[in-house]
Each structure stands twice: as structure tokens, then as C-alpha cells.
């Protein structure tokens, strides 16, 4: 079964490799860099935190990112220890520096979809849709740049989304007790 999944992952990487173009390369590199260390998501949650009406959502995004990081980067990656596809490529095929850590699940995708999960439950559709589009772009960029397999990204999306949803439930249950002045 794992051999079949690996074959699918390899075929997806090969097909995506066929669409590489200089302009698209720049877009994907930029999208991927926006996800480095969750920078774009931390920047997006700041306006939420600064406005009292949206403060709970901002803190919930932070909490969701922390839960997702713990689950994906600290626990699952070190259990699975999957080697990245870029470690099987030559230097001339690399568009970005090779990441040092393991591949499964995609941390960029996990963080992105943790925010998607929080925003889905706490915001309106006009806020949710651009967040979802950005999360999908960042996630696709990781496959495009050959630093993740399709299954790394799919697992990251599922894990992040579940972490985001769970963080809202936990936050709603405990935030009123821990931060009574926070507008929910």
C-alpha cells in the first residue's frame, strides 16, 4: 500500500514539474516564503488582536497555530521521519534551499489550515475565502517546489484543519475562565 502511495506521490511531482515556468516559479517561491515560520499567519492575526471586537479570534488563531505546530512539527514529523522529495533531486533542479527537517506532514500546510479551521468557525465568508485561497496557494507551492509530496500536503491540511476546529472548541470552553475580559 505504501508503495502505491509513493508511486502516486512521485507521479504528481513529475507532472507538476512539467508546468514549471520562470514567472510561476517566482509566484510559488513567494507563496512558500510567506508561509515560512507561519509569518503570514502571525501577520494576519495581529489586526484581529489589536481590535477589541476581534481579539478573541486573534488569540484563537494564535492558539490554533500553537496546537498545529505541536502536533505536526514536534510530534508527528519525528515519529514518521519521511525524507523530502528534494533530497532525491540534483542541485540544479532545486528552486529553493532544501529544508533540513522531515517531510510528513507539511508544516506550512498544517499552519495554513489551522488558521482556515479557526476562521471558518469564527469569521464571515468574506474573511474566510481569501484565507482559504492563500492557504491553498501556500500548500500547492510546497509540492510545486518539490519540498513535499502530495500526501504530506493532504495530511497537513487535514491535521491543520482538525487542530483549528479543536482549538476553537477548547478556546470557547476555557477562554472565558482564563481571560474574562476578552470579548467572545
User: How many domains is the chain partitioned into structurally?
Assistant: 1
CATH of the domain at 143: 1.10.606.20
109 and 153 Cβ atoms separated by less than 8 Å: yes
Half-sphere exposure of 171 (CA within 13 A, CB side): 26
In the numeric block, which cell numbers belong to residue 37?
Answer: 515560520
Per-residue confidence (pLDDT) for residue 92, from 0 to 100: 62
Per-residue confidence (pLDDT) for residue 73, from 0 to 100: 92
In the numeric block, which cell numbers belong to residue 134?
Answer: 492563500
In a domain, 11, yes or no: no
In the numeric block, which cell numbers belong to residue 71?
Answer: 502536533
In a domain, 17, yes or no: no
Per-residue confidence (pLDDT) for residue 8, from 0 to 100: 85
In a domain, 171, yes or no: yes
In a domain, 18, yes or no: no
* Low-confidence spans in the chain with pLDDT less than 50: none
In a domain, 22, yes or no: no
Residue with cell 506521490: 9
> Closest by alpha carbon to 65, among 48, 82, 81?
48
In a domain, 117, yes or no: yes
Per-residue confidence (pLDDT) for residue 96, from 0 to 100: 61
N- to C-terminal Cα separation, the chain: 46
- Give the domain range for residue 124: 27-178
Half-sphere exposure of 68 (CA within 13 A, CB side): 36
DSSP class per residue in the chain: -HHHHHHHHHHHHHHHHTT--HHHHHHHHHHHHHHGGGHHHHHHHHHHHHSGGGHHHHHHHHHHHHHHHIIIIIIIHHHH-PPPGGGGS-GGG-SSPPPSS--SS-HHHHHHHHHHHHHHHHS-HHHHHHHHHHHHHHHHHHHHTTSS-HHHHHHHHHHHHHHHHHHHHHHHHHHHHH-TTS--
In a domain, 1, yes or no: no
Amino acid at each position: 500500500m505504501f508503495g502505491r502511495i509513493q508511486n502516486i506521490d512521485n507521479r504528481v511531482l513529475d507532472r507538476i514539474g512539467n508546468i514549471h515556468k520562470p514567472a510561476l516559479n517566482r509566484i510559488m517561491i513567494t507563496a512558500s516564503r510567506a508561509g515560512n515560520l507561519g509569518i503570514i499567519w502571525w501577520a494576519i492575526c495581529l489586526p484581529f488582536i489589536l481590535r477589541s471586537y476581534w481579539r478573541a479570534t486573534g488569540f484563537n488563531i494564535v492558539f490554533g497555530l500553537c496546537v498545529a505546530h505541536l502536533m505536526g512539527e514536534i510530534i508527528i514529523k519525528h515519529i514518521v521521519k519521511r525524507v523530502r522529495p528534494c533530497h532525491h533531486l540534483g542541485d540544479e533542479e532545486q528552486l529553493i534551499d532544501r529544508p533540513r527537517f522531515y517531510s510528513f506532514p507539511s508544516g506550512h500546510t498544517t499552519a495554513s489550515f489551522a488558521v482556515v479551521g479557526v476562521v471558518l468557525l469564527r469569521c464571515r465568508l468574506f474573511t474566510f475565502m481569501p484565507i482559504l485561497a492563500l492557504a491553498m496557494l501556500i500548500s500547492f507551492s510546497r509540492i510545486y517546489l518539490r519540498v513535499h509530496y502530495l500526501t504530506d500536503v493532504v495530511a497537513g491540511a487535514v491535521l491543520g484543519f482538525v487542530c483549528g476546529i479543536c482549538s476553537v472548541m477548547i478556546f470557547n470552553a476555557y477562554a472565558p475562565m482564563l481571560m474574562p475580559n476578552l470579548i467572545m
